Structure 1
Amino acid sequence: MAVSMSSSPSSGRLSIPTKLFYGFGSVAFGVKDQGFSYLLLIFYNQVVGLPSATVGLAIMIALIFDSFLDPLMGQISDGWRSRWGRRHPFMYAAAIPVAVSYLLLWNPPQGWSDQAIFLYLIVVAVIIRSFITMYEIPSSALAPELTTDYDERTKVLAYRHFFGWFGGLAMTVLALRVFLAPDAAHPVGQLNPAGYQTYAYVASAVMLGAILISAMGTHRHIARFSTPAKRKLSVGELAREMIGTLSHKSFLVLVGAGLFNAMASGLVLSLNLYFNTYFWELSSNQIALLATGNFVSAILAFMLAAPLAKRVGKKSAAQATKVLAFLIAVGPISLRLVGLAPENGAPALLPILFVQTVFSTAFSITSAILISSMIADVVEDSELRTGRRSEGLFFSASAFVQKAVSGVGIFASSMILLAVGFPQQAKPGEIDHPVLVCLGAVYLIVLAALYGAAILCVSLYRITREGHEESLRRLAAKARRTGGKGPEYA
């Protein structure tokens, strides 16, 4: 059966407005992701009062549900036929539900038991993740449809990661500097419950706007995207197609790399506020200052990703930046554990933490951009083997990996807090020193294991620039033989 291809992705450069509209949509995911990773654990643990392990378990349950929904959403959008193409109907449909469900997440009912709040958190987390999936997977899958060029894809995905980080960070800094303000009853601003409610309303509105602006801004490109032929598949045939597509070896190692990378990033983000509040004893304003350093990180990553990929290749660049991210990330805590870091409150401490934050995050973002671009290059290699363009299915795995930042990362963080005996509703400066030392040591060991596993997986990726260009030539030759209708498959 032939796949109808109404047109093909651009093989050249895209306009700046197209990249901006495409990238801006990731603000929604960035706001959600930063909220889950940076604020959700401490909110439900220290403000609402749920045990850290309970919060982590709730997020993990939602993540398991997501793991089944993601590939299904990818497969559905790959085969969707409408006058608005394969992706945009889902992007538009998700906008309002994403905003409403995120608002509910930060406004749990008052007076409920721990068990009831636990169930509430699971249900709302599943809902917000489901609608983010409905938007993020089709939106991400636009990248390989917009261009087939090896280097242009890295640039396009650099825009996406830049806006995702920038939007999420802006909302986090706004929360720390404006919404989570200390008052008489809550001298530590990040423990002020009223601030989280204000944050929820503003964040939900921003997510709604980002989704609609991106969808409308890329709408004009629908006419040149691929259109699948009408097909009727049984559940068994659909499952076999999905397994056949996702069994691509280079894709599988990227999934592994992305998963370990996401867990490492999630661990850093989820425990970051704990370290800053209790380990370093920083004020909310000082923490906000560190968070602003991530704006610089996002800019550096945006500038580094494409030139590095062009100079040394995506694979080598991804490995090198991941190694640098790890070495810089563990520096200050390692120094404190061996007694070489400045004391809390010392003038030199904040500048050291600021520089560490900027560069470790910059290299981590750069690595993530490169891995996303490598996933985009799997599309054509897979199309040669299967006869199907499966951007949505491949990027569904990418979306799942990114969500693991706030799922597995939060769960691992909660388990570390439980293992070291970290107290609930603790006050800075009143935690036993051995508990803090144990927290730092366990954190470094787990982080090293995750980063090492990610680097090992990337080393097994096999698609090069030359291999990608050869795939494009072979696909073009097949299209000419079939009269421009694209590949065929049984």
Structure 2
Amino acid sequence: MSDYVTPKKDRVPVGQKAAFGAGHLVLNLLPGALGVFMFFLLTAFGMDPLKAGILGALPRLFDALTDPIMGFISDNTKSKWGRRRPYIFVGAILSGILFAALWQLDPENSQSYNFWYFLIFSMIFLIGNTMFATPLVGLGYEMTSDYNERTRLMAFSQTVGQIAWMIVPWFWVLIADPDLFATQAIGVRQLSLYVGGACIILGILPALFCKGIDSANMENRQKITFKSMFSNVKSLFMGIVEVFKNKPFVKLCGATFLVFNGFQMVASFSFFIIVYYMFDGSYSDAGNWPAWFSTITAVVTAFAVIPIISYIANKKGKRNAFIISTVISIIGYILKWWGFDPGNPWLMFMPIPFMAFGLGGLFTLMMSMTADVCDLDELKNGMPRKEGTFGAIYWWMVKIGQSLALFLGGLVLKMVGFDGNAATQTVETMTSLRIADVIIPSVTAALAILIMWKYSLSEDRAREIKEVLVKRRGEL
């Protein structure tokens, strides 16, 4: 058990934690709202399903390419406001404006016009969003150099970020409510304005109030100019190669890929099981149960699971906390078999306190551990520190894996014989779907535990590295 007390100079003030958390609320709100609104491309704007699929896939691939570039740029930026904050400020404003503009579609327009309008604005929106998100993640890695304070900072930000997932499920209900909006298209257009405005207000807070590492005298940074573009590309790829040589970081990416994308593969299954298994295909009888399932999950994650995970990590170490939380989540996945009971809908909430340890522990711990990995990289490769590059590569892995998970999830639905056009599903289909809903995330979580079993960057090693870096930089 660790009895270490964080020095006052390494503690992040509550105001800065709140501002950083506000940024993470935006990080969750934008993709959450985007996922809900994408459904209404089909129902409100009459988009062909194939074209809607293309609009979902192409921007994701583009986004995965821009992340490492933005990470490299923010790592090497020199300004009196720091390496990250100018991009966060501008990126938050662009993200909010462009998200709202993205959804100003009209069902009266031709399908071709709406397709190209949405595709072009998606690409532009993602540039603004990458300008905001990648430096924000990098800023979090450098706000404190303390092993335990990093976990507390990430726990706080993840708790605030979960508020988005308490809100987003109800967008379905609001947009489809004829008493609020005359049509779904009007609902999407108006609600996107509110989402965009909230993202601007909350997104600029980290740029205004959060403080990163003092980079004034940071050595070996590349010049970011048009003339140095080609040499920068070479440096970018060399930096990426160095990142992938960092074995602890590769383990973090592998474990995240398995836990998150195992969960993502079956994320939609709960909705289908509630509607088709518990309520025999009746959307009216299912009512708000799916929304409440998602909201309660977010509430439990934010206010129960994340604080517990933070406590365990500070007492037992981050690796042990990850293993414990992942084992608990496997128990939750297994309990879903009995939780989804047609005779008692309230039982669906039984697995949630256990399942929530999966993602609640994952991103709280992995983001804290990535900050430790950045110290290891500085020890081995020197300056400049590459928080932006590490953050970009980490989330690049998440996004690529998410795209794969969405594809595999659809493949599983097809394999079990699920028919989205049918009013009801066969007993065999629902049994197979329920088995997949339990087995897939349980197996991927177990594999993640195996990967992290011999994770080498312990608390003692992290503190040794910090002491060496402090002496090397000449800090007091």
Query: Which category of TM-score, normalised to the shorter sequence, fits these structures?
Result: 0.7 to 0.9
CA separation of 1:106 and 1:376: change in aligned 2, threshold 3 A: same
Aligned 8 A contact 2:94 2:128 in 1: yes
1:25 to 23, 26, 31: 23
Distance 2:120 2:353 in 1: 35
Secondary structure at the aligned position of 2:168 is classed as helix
Aligned 8 A contact 2:22 2:161 in 1: yes
Name 1:228's counterpart in structure 2. 218
**How far 1:406 moved relative to its partner?**
5.4
2:356 is equivalent to residue 366 of structure 1: no
Name 2:470's counterpart in structure 1. 476
CA separation of 1:124 and 1:98: change in aligned 2, threshold 3 A: same
2:81 to 81, 84, 90: 84
2:139 is equivalent to residue 135 of structure 1: no
AA in 1 matched with 2:372: D
Structure 2 residue runs of 5 or longer lacking an equivalent are: 1-6, 280-284
AA in 1 matched with 2:82: G
CA separation of 1:117 and 1:278: change in aligned 2, threshold 3 A: farther
Q: Please, which moves more after superposition, 107-116 or 141-150?
A: 107-116
Name 1:213's counterpart in structure 2. 205
1:349-364 matches, within 5 Å, as: 349=345, 351-364=346-359
AA in 1 matched with 2:365: L
Name 2:331's counterpart in structure 1. 327
Distance 1:49 1:474 in 2: 60
Name 2:4's counterpart in structure 1. none
AA in 2 matched with 1:151: N
AA in 2 matched with 1:375: T
2:77 is equivalent to residue 74 of structure 1: no
Name 1:6's counterpart in structure 2. none
**How far 1:118 moved relative to its partner?**
5.8
Report which structure shows greater RCO (CA 8 Å, sep ≥6). Answer: 1
**How far 1:91 moved relative to its partner?**
0.6
1:37-436 matches, within 5 Å, as: 37=35, 39-40=36-37, 42-44=39-41, 55-56=52-53, 58-110=55-107, 122-166=119-163, 168-181=164-177, 194-218=186-210, 221=211, 224-225=214-215, 227-229=217-219, 231-232=222-223, 234=231, 235-281=233-279, 283-293=286-296, 294-332=298-336, 334-335=337-338, 342-343=341-342, 346=343, 348-349=344-345, 351-388=346-383, 389-403=385-399, 407-424=403-420, 427=423, 430-436=424-430
**How far 1:446 moved relative to its partner?**
3.3
Distance 2:47 2:401 in 1: 21
Secondary structure at the aligned position of 1:371 is classed as helix
Distance 1:184 1:77 in 2: 43
**How far 1:455 moved relative to its partner?**
2.6
CA separation of 1:321 and 1:21: change in aligned 2, threshold 3 A: same
2:449 is equivalent to residue 455 of structure 1: yes
Q: TM-score, normalised by structure 1?
A: 0.82
Structure 1 residue runs of 5 or longer lacking an equivalent are: 1-8
Name 2:282's counterpart in structure 1. none
Secondary structure at the aligned position of 1:77 is classed as helix
Aligned 8 A contact 1:145 1:225 in 2: no
After superposition, what is the alpha-carbon deviation per residue over 1:430-470, rounded to whole angstroms, capped at 9, x for unaligned?
A: 34444333333344443334323333332342100011011
Distance 1:185 1:16 in 2: 39
**How far 1:133 moved relative to its partner?**
1.7
Aligned 8 A contact 1:246 1:394 in 2: no
AA in 2 matched with 1:286: W
Aligned 8 A contact 2:258 2:445 in 1: yes
1:437 to 431, 439, 455: 431
Q: Please, which moves more after superposition, 173-182 or 12-21?
A: 173-182
Name 1:14's counterpart in structure 2. 12
Aligned 8 A contact 1:265 1:405 in 2: no
Aligned 8 A contact 1:154 1:373 in 2: yes
Distance 1:117 1:274 in 2: 29
Distance 1:16 1:275 in 2: 41
**How far 1:106 moved relative to its partner?**
4.2
Secondary structure at the aligned position of 1:374 is classed as helix
Name 1:3's counterpart in structure 2. none
Aligned 8 A contact 2:61 2:400 in 1: no
**How far 1:225 moved relative to its partner?**
4.8
Q: TM-score, normalised by structure 2?
A: 0.84
Aligned 8 A contact 1:259 1:401 in 2: yes
AA in 1 matched with 2:472: K
- Taking only the aligned residue pairs, the percentage that are identical comes to 22
Distance 1:77 1:469 in 2: 26
**How far 1:315 moved relative to its partner?**
0.8
**How far 1:320 moved relative to its partner?**
1.9
Distance 2:102 2:269 in 1: 20
**How far 1:82 moved relative to its partner?**
1.0
Aligned 8 A contact 1:421 1:435 in 2: yes
